[in-house]
Each structure stands twice: as structure tokens, then as C-alpha cells.
Amino acid sequence: MNYDRILIRYGEISTKGRNRNKFVDKLRKSVRIALIPFPKAKIEASRDRMYVLLNGENGIEIIKSLKNIFGIQSFSPAIKVERDVEALKQASLELLQSLFKAGQTFKVTAKRSDKAFELNTNEINDTVGGYLLSQIPGLTVNVKNPDINLRVEVRKEAIYLSCETIKGAGGLPLGSGGRAMLMLSGGIDSPVAGFMAMKRGLEIEAVHFFSPPFTSERSKEKVIDLARKLVDITKVSMKLHIVPFTDVQQAIREQVPENYTMTSTRRMMLRITDEIRHNREALAIVTGESLGQVASQTLESMYAINEVTNTPILRPLISMDKTDIIKIAEQIDTFEISNRPFEDCCTIFVPASPKTKPKREKVNQYESYFDFEPLIQEAVQGVEVLTIKPGSDKQSEFDELF
């Protein structure tokens, strides 16, 4: 027997009360985008469940597409059966016969969201299980660790049968949390932070600081590849803002004492990102900072750097160990790209002894000797914007840039 649909379970969306429909609509949009290569597949969505009707499309390929969609807790290939006991028994038999191999065990797990059905949960388990045992020679029951778990879900409109539960990406649907700017460097952490932010429903636009001739075109290419990996996960286009940062960085180097240049550099980056955020009507900034990892990520440094904006700064990695961050980078396939040996503006002009406990009053004093505002506005005006599209190749994005 072939499955005719995929049953999608919402997970955290189910806790959203009166706002649930808004989250379901966002999830429906993500699923619809994932199904673009499968034009015959259709979506049916309700407050509690979503179904993808296969209509002859390749179920295995659709399952691969659903695995990365944020907001899906789990999903199951399923069969729809009319609310009739005899029809339920026959469909269960056909499904189990298509899966059963000699020596395998099974159990029936029934669940009723509609209590009006003529059998209760235990009666469904007994009726269907007994029928299967009588019809399939060699089939035995194992309630603790069965080879096949036949799930029977009784709902108001129909009964659904499934034997496999596939874990989804979890989190919340993309875009349900609003828009934020991701400060994307070429390192390991910021792409992971972007992934974590998107998993919580944020729509992301990336901001990268570029300092030619001190940073090369290959470092820019590296960041474009990182952005592309994030786009490949969501299948949704992302804007990448590339900021010309050379003049600002050189001014900092000339005007600020060396041990405070790192602090000032981060403050200027944050000011510029905040300007872009304002122009793009986003509501937060996402960074890849992890507490204590480097000199700029001590609590004192973050306190001094944060002073330049009232915009919420989201740090999804703040309490994570580096090994855990690397594991996620490997899972989302950004780790090897981040390890390419090309410098970025965060790795040039690094002071020999950066301040790990900078003082706000001191950094303000040092920055007061020079008017950085014109350079900041010049950088904002000079931003080049790339649109990274799902499935786009590297050459097309460079053509757009130049």
C-alpha cells in the first residue's frame, strides 16, 4: 500500500492559543515554498494538523524537503481512512502487509481527538490488533519495542494510519518572529547564530564588513557561500549587505589607543548595522557572540559595545561551548567554509593586547577626539546589497555585485 499524504505535527505552535492561526499561516507558506518542485502536491491545514496530499508526487523527496522546515515537530507518511471500523481494519491490514517481514513484531497505538467515534482507545487497539494477528501468519506483539508501530489517529473528519514518525526541525516558522539583521563574519559562530535565530522564527538579513585591500575578494566569496548555506536550509531568499569598512577601520587605528581599537571597531560595526536595520525596518540585531570566547566577548566588553544602541541585541550562542557550536556548524554544513584561510575585517589590525575589561568612559573619551559620524554615513551609503536566492550559483551573485 502506498501512502497518499504526509501528516505534519506542529509542536510549539500548538501552545499559541488565539495567535495559532498566524503561526500556521507562516508554516503553510514555508511548506508551500518547499513543495514548489512538486506541483501536484497540495496542502491542507487546520489549527491542529497539516497534511501534504502527494497526488502522485515522490513522497521520499518531499520528506527530505520537509526535514529542514522550522515549526514542524514531526511528520509521518500516512493514509486517510473513512470513519468506519471495517474500513479501518482493512486499511490497517493492507498497510501492515506491505511492511511486514518474517519475524517482525508490532503494536497498535491509537489516539482519539474525536471522542464520538464508536470505539474508545483500548477498543481500537484490541480490535485492530486482534484482526491483524488473525490475518498475518507469524506476526507477534511487542508493546515495548515493536518493529512496526501502527499509529491510528481518529479525528473528526477521518482516521489516519501511519507507521513511521520522522523528527522535524522544531522551532517556529520562519518569519513568525519578525525581521532581524545578522552580523555575518567569515567565522564559525555567526552562521550558527543565524541558523539558531531563524529556527526561532526570525527572518534574517545579513550584514558583512569588508575592508579592501586588507581583505580579499576570496573572503567576500566565503561569506556569500555561508549566506548561501543558510538560504539552502530555508529555501527563502536572503539579502546580504556588504559594508565598505576600510576608512572607518583605518580611522580607528589612527585615533584610538591600540588596546581599545577592538572595542571601538565593534562599536562602529554595531552603529552601522543599526543604521541598516533602521532603513530595513528590522527590530533586532543578531550576533555570534559566546560569553568569554574572545576578548570582545567578555561581559565588560559587551557592556561597553552595547552602549551605542538601544536596539535589542540577540546572542543565540551566548551560553554555548565552542564544541557545541562546531557540532551545529557541521550539521548545517558551514564549518568547512568558515575554516577557509581568508582574513576578514575582524582578523586584521588585531591589537597585541586587546582590553578584556574596557571602560565606557574611556572608549567614549578616545572616540570623542574624532568625528566618526561622516565615515559611518559614508559606509552606510556605500553598502552593496546582494540577494542570495535558493539554488542560485556563485557566478550569478558575483555578477549582481559587480
pLDDT band at 398 (very low <50, low <70, confident <90, very high): low
Mean pLDDT over 265-274 rounds to 96
Q: Where are the beta strands (DSSP E) in 59-134?
A: 74-81, 105-112
- pLDDT higher than 90, residue 3: no
Rounded Cα gap, residues 45 and 59, in angstroms? 18
Residue 81 grid cell: 481512512
Q: Considering only CA atoms, which of 265, 286, 285 is closest in space to residue 275? A: 285
Rounded Cα gap, residues 315 and 327, in angstroms? 18
pLDDT value of residue 397: 54
Q: What percent of the chain has pLDDT over 70?
A: 96
pLDDT value of residue 393: 61
149, 167 Cβ separation under 8 angstroms: no
Q: Where are the beta strands (DSSP E) in 123-235?
A: 140-141, 148-154, 159-162, 166-167, 179-183, 203-210
**Listed range (51-60, 135-144, 271-280, 337-346) with the worst mean pLDDT:** 337-346
Phi then psi dihedrals of residue 219, to 5 deg: -70, -35
52, 62 Cβ separation under 8 angstroms: yes
Backbone Cα Rg of the chain: 27
Residue 340 grid cell: 577557509
Rounded Cα gap, residues 166 and 3, in angstroms? 14
317, 289 Cβ separation under 8 angstroms: yes
Mean pLDDT over 89-118 rounds to 92
Q: Considering only CA atoms, which of 179, 190, 278, 312 is closest in space to residue 238? A: 179
Local structure of 257: helix, strand or coil: coil
Local structure of 162: helix, strand or coil: strand
Q: Considering only CA atoms, which of 48, 47, 44, 46 is closest in space to residue 6? A: 44
CA–CA–CA angle 224, 378, 207 (5° rounding): 25
pTM for the whole structure: 0.86
Local structure of 200: helix, strand or coil: strand
CA–CA–CA angle 334, 336, 246 (5° rounding): 80
Please name every residue paired with 203 in a beta bridge, in sequence order, or none if there are none: 179
pLDDT value of residue 113: 85
Contacts of 23 (CB under 8 A, 6+ apart): 10, 13, 16, 71, 172, 173, 176
